[in-house]
Amino acid sequence: MTPVTTHTTCPYCGVGCGVEVKSQDLDVAPVAGLQAHPANFGRLCVKGSALHETTDHTDRLLHPTLNGKKTTWDKAIGLVADKMRQVISTHGPDAVAFYGSGQLLTEDYYVANKLMKGFVGSANMDTNSRLCMASAVAAYKRALGSDTVPGSYQDLEEADLMVMVGSNAAWAHPILFQRITAAKKANPDMKVVVIDPRFTATCDIADLHLPVRPGSDTTLFNALLTYMHDQNCLDNDFIAEHCEGITDALDAARAAAEDFADLEQKTGVDASELETFFSWFRDTEKTVTFYSQGVNQSVDGTDKANAIINLHLATGRIGKPGACPFSITGQPNAMGGREVGGLANQLAAHMDFAAEDRERIKRFWNAPSVAEKPGYKAVDLFNAVKDGKIKFLWIMSTNPLVSMPDADAVKEALGQCELVVVSDCMANTDTTAAAHVLLPAASWGEKNGTVTNSERRISRQRGFLPPPGDARPDWWIITQVARHMGFEDAFPYEHPSEIFDEHARLSAFENNGRRDFDLSGLTGMTREQYDALAPVQWPVNDTYPEGRARFFDDGRFYTPSGKARFVPINAQLPEQDDATLIMNTGRVRDHWHTMTRTAKSSRLARHIAEPYADFHIRDASQRGIRDGALVELHNDRGQIIVRAKVSDDKRQRPGEVFVPMHWTSRYASSARMGVLINQDNDPVSGQPALKISRVEARPFDVEWQGFVLSRTDLGPLDADYWAYNLTDTGHMYEVAHRDSPEAFLQKIEQSEGEGSWLRFSDEANHHYRLARVVDGRLDLVVFIHRDYDFGTRQWLIDRFGDEELDRNDRRALLAGRAPGAQVDKGAIICSCFQVGENAIKEAIAQGADTAEALGKALLCGTNCGSCIPELKTIIQKSSVEFTDAAKAG
Ligand code: SF4
């Protein structure tokens, strides 16, 4: 049998790269970027490149379960449908809720939204996209009259000035970052300004980095609007013809800052750098402002985005090549969710709750009871569960017990709900543990449908693997429940192409050019045409049969007057509180969301192996926190324990600490950062303020630290701190404990598996080394010590791959390395070629002092390129070390 080639789409970030997969039965060859896909033109970042390593069935949810016991689909669907009906008839439709995800395909989302908003009669369908880009949506709608991303990725390349705000695109949207990097290389006049409190990998291409005080960016953009006005640089013709409300916006903006000195004081950025940025903005027509979660995840995220859009409207920099405000979404199908009405304040096909929209949707769906008003947004939704107002909750493909603010309150809420249903592809998440009913969903590679990326491009996700066990696509599961509830006629779907067709027809229904979202050109496709659908940017209609790259080039907006609206923004600065630290959250390069897929790839796990917190050296020394030691972050909501990274003032501003969002109870003992975040959210969009939480930090002193390597997954360890990773040959835990090690060791020794033990112990130093060999193969290794640094372990990890230990290796086990051999790789910097930090430093010492030279010497950075900013940082640090050493010498 020859391998089957499938063209599909990456399921991670909002760039939406095309992927080529070759598979044969369950074997999936290393994936490649799809040359023909306009998002990536053949490239993939490190996460995308590892997709084939994530398709195994470990940890998969394989069967419907009820209270932990396997059941049948018939019983599970009957129970879910009956409970929904009972709750609706007893407490009304608003007592049920769905909570979806940007991981759902558009077809899944469409069916869920239709069931809730048209047939249950409530709008309590919200999604984790609320945490990602709800403020961007609200701002577009306030200004443009529609949720329309104005430009394309091509505009990012055509810009002469890229202003990147609250975005670490180098790690969060790597392929787009690489496109911008290449464009900058090709156009030496192109400037990049990064506005971010942190000095991130994205600053690698920055001509100017403005490390603004968190929450001061609205002030910055208002001051820029005033500056442009005072410099006579507004586009008065565009404003007069195509906009309304400039006077109020300018009046509000003028209050932001008196002069550059005042702005420096408010933003924490040098006045001279602010002046440079303002003059570049003034002098550069082709400007794109590219913004992401750093803007959206704030108490004033909508205002921030509108302050940005105000600037683009006032200068006429919208609807032109290389000029627009551009919000980038985090998730692969956040945009598809927006199109079908996945947010609780939308209906479907970019229609809202106006009587005319409701009536139109009611007629189209032939629906009994279209929701009359917006439903609960995410934070309010889980509060309503806690208050007993919502009695039935269905969570689809997401893990709110980790990602929601005040995550422990969400856990408590679920404990009080009459029925919690979770449909997911994974069995062991924090959220599946809180469910009464689990429904196994198909995963990437097993399901069929469409996704929309951040430039409005619809692409097909195509299946190439059979779903394991009883797993089924989400649209199928929801359809079965809807039918069981008595809505057979409205939910006749047998294939996602039928759902897509209905979705496209609804977008066209009584549209007549009044709504931006119009797929009339994609209606009536056969299943074969749907299967062959090429990536296309909406709208697709008579005017734009091949899709539309750029909106508003005609100066027409989707407001009642047809003019864009300036929104007056009153910039508010957050209160100063020097006693506590501001906790910022975000992504790391090689993991995605709550790691359920990326943690299956051992090479992705090796970039950053533990949850951590980035500290400025001043804050760390004030608190007695050492680089590499464990630290506890805490506030009155909870605490987490992570590894401290301490740096100088470039990476992290004093008074602030950064914590990645990914680690869950599956992968670490206590690192769910959501427990520390309060419920503050944007009053317009409802988006939680995930970037600013007040925390304190103190050392987490332990009696001993060490690591465990095991052939089998040992599950959660009985220790105060542990972090879990897959290795090439088994499983690995970092571990630490506040008590003496004996009890821990006893439990480990009792873990499954008979075999012979090798032991070394030095009780006085809590120094123990244990190895168990079963049938000639290495089965378990434990190294612990009061304060020994056990960085070197690759040789031991490799020994787990041996079919039979050789006698010399067996003797060397407790030394942890072969006699006189092996330099450990250190942290893996290039995940594609598994190049470690130690080899890179060695190559630099040999004279490879550019990223290109390192690439030639070691191949690092020559595939996906995601590690290039880190290579440059290591080169820079190494040169500082050499200089220091030379001086000392
Ligand atoms: S940039 Fe990376 S994670 Fe994002 S879609 Fe492309 S390959 Fe996937």
pLDDT at 630: 97
Q: Please tell me if the CB atom of residue 11 comes closer than 6 angstroms to any atom of ligand 1.
A: no
Q: Closest ligand 1 atom to the C-alpha of 13?
A: 4
Distance 147 CA to ligand 1 centre (A): 23
Give the count of alpha carbons within 13 A of 187, CB side only. 18
Distance 30 CA to ligand 1 centre (A): 15
Q: Closest ligand 1 atom to the C-alpha of 332?
A: 5
b/e 56-89 (16+ beta carbons within 10 angstroms → b):
eeebbbbbbbbeeeebebeebbebbbebbbebbe
pLDDT at 791: 67
DSSP state for residue 318 in the 8-state scheme: S
Tokens standing for residue 163: 């202003």
Q: Closest ligand 1 atom to the C-alpha of 9?
A: 5
Q: Please tell me if the CB atom of residue 47 comes closer than 6 angstroms to any atom of ligand 1.
A: yes
Q: Please tell me if the CB atom of residue 16 comes closer than 6 angstroms to any atom of ligand 1.
A: yes
Largest distance between two CA atoms of the chain: 85
Q: Closest ligand 1 atom to the C-alpha of 15?
A: 5
To test the pocket of ligand 1, the residue of 19, 35, 40, 597 to mutate (highest count of ligand atoms within 8 Å of its CB) is 40
Residue 275 near residue 263, CB atoms below 8 Å? no
pLDDT at 438: 98
Residue tagged 């612990």 (tokens): 784
The C-alpha atoms of residue 255 and residue 232 are separated, in whole angstroms, by 18
Residue 491: C-alpha distances to residues 235, 291, 482 (Å): 51, 38, 7
Mean pLDDT by 10 residues, the chain (889 residues): 92 96 94 97 95 93 97 98 98 98 96 98 96 95 97 98 97 96 96 96 96 96 98 98 98 97 97 98 98 94 98 98 95 91 95 96 95 97 97 96 93 96 95 97 97 97 97 98 98 98 98 96 97 98 97 96 98 88 92 88 88 96 96 97 89 94 92 94 95 96 96 94 95 95 89 83 92 95 86 88 93 84 69 83 87 88 81 78 55
The C-alpha atoms of residue 53 and residue 23 are separated, in whole angstroms, by 12
To test the pocket of ligand 1, the residue of 47, 587, 590 to mutate (highest count of ligand atoms within 8 Å of its CB) is 47
Strands 18-24 and 32-33: antiparallel
Atom 6 in ligand 1: which residue has the minimum CA distance? Answer: 17
Q: Which of 485, 491, 130 is nearest to 342 (CA)?
A: 130
The C-alpha atoms of residue 676 and residue 693 are separated, in whole angstroms, by 7
Distance 331 CA to ligand 1 centre (A): 10
Q: Please tell me if the CB atom of residue 175 comes closer than 6 angstroms to any atom of ligand 1.
A: yes
Distance 832 CA to ligand 1 centre (A): 14
DSSP-based three-state secondary structure for 629: coil
The C-alpha atoms of residue 780 and residue 82 are separated, in whole angstroms, by 49
Q: Closest ligand 1 atom to the C-alpha of 175?
A: 1
Tokens standing for residue 333: 């199908």
pLDDT at 888: 52
| E strand or H helix that includes residue 277 | helix 271-283
The C-alpha atoms of residue 232 and residue 275 are separated, in whole angstroms, by 16
* pTM of the full structure: 0.93
Q: Please tell me if the CB atom of residue 40 comes closer than 6 angstroms to any atom of ligand 1.
A: yes
To test the pocket of ligand 1, the residue of 41, 43, 45, 181 to mutate (highest count of ligand atoms within 8 Å of its CB) is 45
Residue 632 near residue 697, CB atoms below 8 Å? yes
SS (H, E, C) 338-401: HHHCCCCCCCCCCCCCCHHHHHHHHHHHCCCCCCCCCCCCHHHHHHHHHCCCCCEEEEECCCHH
Q: Closest ligand 1 atom to the C-alpha of 10?
A: 8
Give strand pairing partners of 5.
22
pLDDT at 889: 46
